[in-house]
Amino acid sequence: MRPCRSRLEENWVEAARSCSRQGVASRAHVMPDHGVWSELAVAEAGQRSFSKADLVPRARVLALARRLADLDFEVPLAELQASGAPAPVAATEKHVGQECSLVGHVVSSGCLEGADTVLDLGAGRGCLSERLQQAAGTRAGFLLIDRDPQKARCRDAALRRRGRARRLVADLQHVRLDPALGRCVAVTKHLCGCATDFGLRCLRALDEDKAALGRTGPPTPLFFATCCHHRCTWEHYVNQAFVLRHGLSEGDFADVCALSHWATLQARPPEEAPRGEAREGLDWGQRRALGQRCKRFLDSGRLEWLRGRYATAALVQYTTLSVENRLLVAR
């Protein structure tokens, strides 16, 4: 289902059209953006891609930068935990390093003991599940969920050779898990934007359905590595109250999501960085820092939501190999 166009997205498509008309697209800094509407705009603007962040008006960027700097939302990331990951891997193997760290967090938590099912939400090719299955030697079955049918042929066969594994091709927004899955542990690695919120709601519904059947117990432990915050949407975000309580509106939320993309700017500006670099009144490094703060803000709201349900919940830095380094752990 396509999200409704927000005001920002309307602006973005219009701005992209306008850039295209003016021939600006060919000069603009190119930054890939995986958002639905940016893909539309790319097509409409003529093969060049911008970040939506670059189209947030300067006054709003500066206002948000001040706002977020002042806010008392900060939740310190726990130190990178000893996670059972093997020796540091080369940056080229960053996904391996991230998987190993995630596996280490799950295994060292003890949550797998007695678990019936591991849920891998947004499982992609299934590499995380495979690594977890190998490392943990768990008797639990694996349920991989991903909306992309193309991913189904990847590591599933290897998973089934070693144990029980099934794949569900479905959008998490519409998934209702069966309480018959028994005691579950849920993992995600880089489940994009609002899909993380779908996953959180899906687990809450599972716990509620179990409770309705009289199966009381702690909520389903989860280990969620978040990413692509520019794809979060107001209507699906789990903690709108957190945003409003910090004095931000729905429109500000859309800006925060867009600006979060700046977190992924390279450490140094490229040689060909466009003129007008300080267009928003922020230099390259300040834009990166603001992007990271936006991501932290969005994950902090999710953390608060989890703290309302779980005995312990934390935002953990689980890797140094990527700016997408936050892991929500709740159990």
**In DSSP terms, which residues pair with 142 in a beta bridge?**
118, 165
* DSSP-derived 3-state class of residue 289: helix
Q: Is 148 in the site for ligand SAM (CB under 6 A)?
A: yes
Residue nearest to ligand SAM (CB): 124
Q: Which of residues 181-210 bind ligand SAM (CB under 6 A)?
A: 189-192, 195, 198
Q: Is 146 in the site for ligand SAM (CB under 6 A)?
A: yes
Q: Is 103 in the site for ligand SAM (CB under 6 A)?
A: no
Q: Is 122 in the site for ligand SAM (CB under 6 A)?
A: yes
Q: How far apart are CA 34 and CA 231, in angstroms?
A: 8
Residue 122 neighbours by CB distance under 10 Å: 25
Task: Please count the residues of this chain forming the interface with ligand SAM, following the rule CB under 6 A.
Answer: 20
Q: Is 151 in the site for ligand SAM (CB under 6 A)?
A: yes
User: Residue 265 gets which letter from DSSP?
Assistant: S
Is the Cβ–Cβ distance between 309 and 298 less than 8 Å? no
| Short-list 259, 264, 250, CA closest to 230 | 259
Min dist CB 34 to ligand SAM, Å, is 9
Q: How far apart are CA 267 and CA 278, in angstroms?
A: 16
Closer to ligand SAM by Cβ: residue 25 or 328: 328
**In DSSP terms, which residues pair with 165 in a beta bridge?**
142
Min dist CB 147 to ligand SAM, Å, is 4
Among 123, 140, 177, 200, binds ligand SAM (CB under 6 A): 123
Min dist CB 187 to ligand SAM, Å, is 9
Q: How far apart are CA 201 and CA 197, in angstroms?
A: 6
Min dist CB 198 to ligand SAM, Å, is 5
Q: Is 155 in the site for ligand SAM (CB under 6 A)?
A: no
Min dist CB 54 to ligand SAM, Å, is 22
Min dist CB 194 to ligand SAM, Å, is 7
Among 17, 67, 147, 236, binds ligand SAM (CB under 6 A): 147
From residue 257, alpha-carbon distances to 149, 194, 265, 294, 322 in Å are 28, 11, 15, 7, 19
Sequential DSSP letters for 4-54: PPPHHHHHHHHHHHHHHHHTGGGTSPP-----HHHHHHHHHHTS----GGG
Which residues contact residue 152 at a Cβ distance below 8 angstroms, ignoring those fewer than 6 apart?
146, 167, 169
Min dist CB 31 to ligand SAM, Å, is 17
**48: its two tokens:** 């060049």
Closer to ligand SAM by Cβ: residue 151 or 230: 151
Among 14, 39, 93, 171, binds ligand SAM (CB under 6 A): 171
Stretch that binds ligand SAM, among 14-22, 105-113, 169-177, 316-324 (CB under 6 A): 169-177
**106, containing H or E segment:** helix 94-109
Binding site for ligand SAM (CB under 6 A): 122-125, 127-128, 145-148, 151, 171-173, 189-192, 195, 198
